[in-house]
C-alpha cells in the first residue's frame, strides 16, 4: 500500500493551495487553505462543519478540479443503509447469469439424489456468484479500490444514522474495506476525504478524533465580496459591497435560515438583471424572497432592510430638515447603547461599522423609513456615520 507521498503532493505551500483553488473560482482564506494543505499531507480525512451554503461541498468539488482527481460523492440521508455507501451485490446481473447458465446449473445438480444434496452442490459453487464480477461498488468501496487517486466527498454526514457513521469510522480509519465473500480491499492511492456536516446533530467523538476539523462560518465581508465578484454577477463592485453588508446585517437577525453565500450571489444576479443602479430599501424589499425563504424571516427582513441598506439615512434627512422624527420617536431614548453593542460585535475591517445597523433606527415604521432611505445614497450614509452615532446616543 502506498500513501500520498511527498512526491505526489499537489501543493508545495499554503499559498499554492489558495492560488490553485482561486483558479477554479473558489476563494479560500488562509485558515481554510492551511487545513486543505494539511489534508493533502497527512493521511487524515477533513471534517467541515458549518451552516448551509458556506462552501463546504463546493470545496470538495474544487479541490478535485485543482488536483486533477476524480470526485466520488456519497450523499448521506436518513435511513441510508451501508450497502448504499460500501457495496451491493448486483442482483440483476446474478439473475441474468443464472438464467443464461440454466442448463449448466442443471448439469451440476443433475445427479443429486434429493433436494438437500442439490442445495449443497449449488452451495459449493456459491463463490462464483459472489465474486468481484457481481460486486456493485458504492462510493466508499470505489474510492478505496480506485487505481487513480480520487477525492471522496461524504456530504452531509450528520443526516446519516449512527450505524453508518460507524461504518465510515472503520473505513476511514484503515482505508480498507473487507468483503467476507471476496476479501479485503486496501487503498493503493489514498483518497482525499472530505466530510461535511450542517450540524443538525453531534457527530461521534470517535469520528471527529480521526479527522482534521474545520468550522466553516460565513466569510468575512472582504472574502464574501471577493466571492461575489468572482461569480461575475453583473452587479457593480460598489453595489456588491453594499449588498454584502446588507446580507451580513440580515444574518444578525436570528432568522430561521440565515442567507448564505449562494443567496448573496443570487441576490446580486437578481439586482443586476433588474438593472439596479442604486441599492435602496424598496428594491431590496421587492427582491428579498431571493435570500429569505420563510414567512417569518421575510417579515423580520423587511423590517430591518431600511436601516441595513443605509443606517444613516435618517440622519441625512434630519440634517436637511425633512421632518420625519415622529416615525421613531417612541422609545428611542430607551434603546440600549446600540453603537456600543455594535462596536463590541464588529471586527476590524473596512466593512466593520454600519454593517449591523443601529437598533434605534429600526423603530421607524417600515413605510416611513423606506421612503426616507430612498432619498439618501449609501455613500452619503457612510460618510455621515460618525454623526449617526452621536444621534443614537
Ligand atoms: N469560498 C467560496 N468561493 C467561491 N464560491 C463559494 C465559496 N463559498 C461558497 N461559494 C458559493 O456558494 C455556493 C454554496 O456552497 P455549497 O458548497 O453548496 O455550500 P454548503 O456549505 O452548504 O455545502 C456554491 O455553489 C458557490 O457558488
Ligand atoms: Mg453542501
Residue range 324-345, pLDDT digits in tens: 333 333 333 333 444 444 444 4
Q: Angle at the Cα of 131 (from 128 to 136), degrees rounded to 5?
A: 135
Task: Say how far apart CA 217 and CA 392 lie, in whole Å.
Answer: 30
Task: Return d(Cα 120, Cα 233) in angstroms, integer.
Answer: 68
Q: How far is the CA of 27 from the centre of ligand 1 (A)?
A: 9
pLDDT at 377: 39
**Tell me, what's the pLDDT at 200?**
87
Atom of ligand 1 nearest to the CA of 28: 1
Mean pLDDT confidence for 143-167: 93
In order of 221, 225, 328, the CA distances from 350 in angstroms are 8, 12, 29
Neighbouring-strand partners of residue 183: 179
Confidence of residue 53 (pLDDT cuts 50, 70, 90): very high
Q: Please give the pLDDT value at position 350.
A: 38
Check residue 27 and report its DSSP letter. Answer: -
Instruction: Report residues whose beta carbon is within 6 angstroms of any ligand 1 atom.
Output: 25-28, 52-58, 196, 227, 261-262, 265
Rounded to an integer, the average pLDDT of 99-116 is: 90
Q: What pLDDT was estimated at residue 174?
A: 87
For residue 49, with 0-12 CB atoms within 10 Å meaning exposed, 13-18 middle and 19 or more buried, which class applies? buried
Domain ranges of the chain: 14-80+139-215, 88-134, 221-309
Q: Output b/e per residue, 163-173; b: 16+ Cβ within 10 A.
A: ebbebbeebbe
User: How high is the pLDDT of residue 8?
Assistant: 74
Q: What is the pLDDT of residues 57-67, one digit of tens each?
A: 999 999 999 99
Cell numbers of 283, please?
Answer: 428594491
Could you tell me which of 327, 299, 302 has the C-alpha nearest to residue 314?
327
* pLDDT cut 70: percent of the chain above it: 77
Residue spans of alpha helices (H) in 24-153 = 30-41, 56-67, 91-100, 102-109, 115-124, 126-129, 139-145
Closest by Cα among 127, 140, 230 to 180:
127
First vs last C-alpha separation in the chain: 68
Give Rg (Cα) of the chain. 29
Average pLDDT, the chain: 81
Range 198-204 average pLDDT: 88
Q: Percent of the chain scored above 90 by pLDDT?
A: 61
Q: Is the CATH code 3.40.50.300 the one for domain 14-80+139-215?
A: yes
| The pLDDT of residue 353 is above 50 | no
For every residue of 149-212, DSSP letters joined together read -EEEEEETGGGS-HHHHHHHHHHHHHTEEEETTTEEEE-SSPPEEEEEE--SSPPPHHHHHHSE
Q: Which ligand is nearest to the CA of 262?
A: 1
| Atom 9 of ligand 1, residue of closest alpha carbon | 55
Most confident stretch, 230-239, 335-344, 357-366: 230-239
Which pLDDT value is given to residue 327?
A: 37
Instruction: Say how far apart CA 141 and CA 195 lie, in whole Å.
Output: 16
pLDDT greater than 90 at residue 153: yes
- In whole angstroms, what is the distance from residue 43 CA to residue 172 CA? 10
pLDDT tops 70 at residue 381: no
> Rounded to the nearest whole angstrom, what is the distance from the C-alpha of residue 54 to the centroid of ligand 2?
8
Report whether pLDDT(355) > 70.
Answer: no
Q: Which pLDDT score is estimated for 162?
A: 86
What's the whole-number mean pLDDT along residues 209-221?
94
What is the rounded CA–CA span in Å between residue 260 and residue 170? 33
Non-local CB neighbours of 176 within 8 Å, separated by 6+ positions: 144, 184, 185, 186, 187
Q: What residue's CA is closest to ligand 1, atom 15?
A: 55
Question: For residue 26, which atom of ligand 1 is closest to its CA?
Answer: 3
Q: Which of left, alpha, beta for 110 (phi over 0: left; psi -120 to 50: alpha)? A: alpha
Instruction: From 156, 228, 229, 261, give the residue whose CB has the most ligand 1 atoms within 8 Å, as the site to mutate.
Output: 261
pLDDT tens-digit series, residues 245-300: 999 999 999 899 999 999 999 999 999 999 999 999 999 999 999 999 999 999 99
Q: Which residues surround ligand 2, an ion (CB under 5 A)?
A: 57
Q: Is the pLDDT of residue 159 over 90?
A: yes
Residues 305-316 have pLDDT tens digits of: 999 987 775 444
pLDDT in the model for residue 313: 56
Q: Which of 262, 263, 268 to mutate to test the pocket of ligand 1 (most atoms within 8 A of CB)?
A: 262
Model confidence at 318: pLDDT above 50? no
Query: Whose C-alpha lies nearest to ligand 1, atom 6?
Result: 55
DSSP class per residue in 247-301: HHHHHTT--SS---HHHHHHHHHHHHHTT--S--HHHHHHTGGGT--SHHHHHHH
Amino acid at each position: 500500500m502506498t500513501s500520498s507521498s511527498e512526491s505526489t503532493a499537489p501543493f508545495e505551500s499554503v499559498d499554492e493551495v489558495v492560488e490553485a483553488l482561486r483558479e477554479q473560482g473558489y476563494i479560500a482564506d488562509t485558515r481554510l487553505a492551511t487545513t486543505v494543505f494539511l489534508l493533502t499531507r497527512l493521511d487524515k480525512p477533513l471534517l467541515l462543519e458549518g451552516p448551509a451554503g458556506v462552501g463546504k461541498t463546493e470545496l470538495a468539488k474544487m479541490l478535485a478540479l485543482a488536483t486533477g482527481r476524480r470526485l466520488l460523492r456519497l450523499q448521506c440521508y436518513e435511513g441510508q443503509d451501508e450497502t448504499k455507501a460500501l457495496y451491493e451485490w448486483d442482483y440483476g446481473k446474478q439473475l441474468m447469469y443464472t438464467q443464461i447458465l440454466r442448463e449448466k446449473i442443471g448439469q451440476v445438480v443433475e445427479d443429486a439424489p434429493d433436494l438437500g444434496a442439490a442445495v449443497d452442490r449449488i452451495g459449493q459453487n456459491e463463490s462464483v456468484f459472489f465474486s468481484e464480477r457481481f460486486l456493485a461498488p458504492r462510493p466508499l468501496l470505489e474510492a478505496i479500490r480506485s487505481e487513480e487517486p480520487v477525492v471522496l466527498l461524504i456530504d452531509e454526514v450528520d443526516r446519516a444514522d449512527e450505524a453508518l457513521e460507524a461504518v465510515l469510522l472503520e473505513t476511514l480509519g484503515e482505508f480498507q474495506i473487507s468483503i467476507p465473500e471476496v476479501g479485503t480491499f486496501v487503498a493503493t492511492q489514498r483518497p482525499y476525504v472530505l466530510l461535511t456536516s450542517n450540524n443538525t446533530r453531534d457527530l461521534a467523538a470517535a469520528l471527529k478524533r480521526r479527522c482534521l476539523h474545520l468550522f466553516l462560518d460565513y466569510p468575512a465581508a472582504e472574502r464574501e465580496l471577493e466571492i461575489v465578484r468572482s461569480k461575475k454577477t453583473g452587479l457593480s463592485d460598489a453595489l456588491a459591497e453594499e449588498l454584502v453588508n446588507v446580507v451580513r446585517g440580515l444574518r444578525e437577525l436570528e432568522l430561521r435560515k440565515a442567507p448564505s453565500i449562494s443567496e448573496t450571489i443570487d441576490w446580486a444576479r437578481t439586482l443586476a438583471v433588474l438593472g439596479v443602479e442604486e441599492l435602496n430599501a424598496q428594491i431590496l424589499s421587492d427582491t428579498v424572497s431571493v435570500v429569505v425563504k420563510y414567512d417569518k424571516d421575510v417579515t423580520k427582513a423587511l423590517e430591518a432592510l431600511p436601516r441595513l441598506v443605509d443606517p444613516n439615512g435618517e440622519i441625512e434627512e434630519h440634517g436637511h430638515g425633512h421632518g420625519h422624527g415622529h416615525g421613531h420617536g417612541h422609545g428611542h431614548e430607551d434603546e440600549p447603547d446600540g453603537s456600543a453593542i455594535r462596536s463590541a460585535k464588529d471586527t476590524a475591517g473596512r466593512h466593520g461599522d454600519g454593517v449591523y445597523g443601529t437598533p434605534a433606527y429600526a423603530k421607524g415604521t417600515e413605510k416611513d423609513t423606506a421612503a426616507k432611505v430612498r432619498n439618501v445614497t449609501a455613500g452619503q450614509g457612510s460618510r455621515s456615520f460618525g454623526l449617526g452615532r452621536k444621534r443614537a446616543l
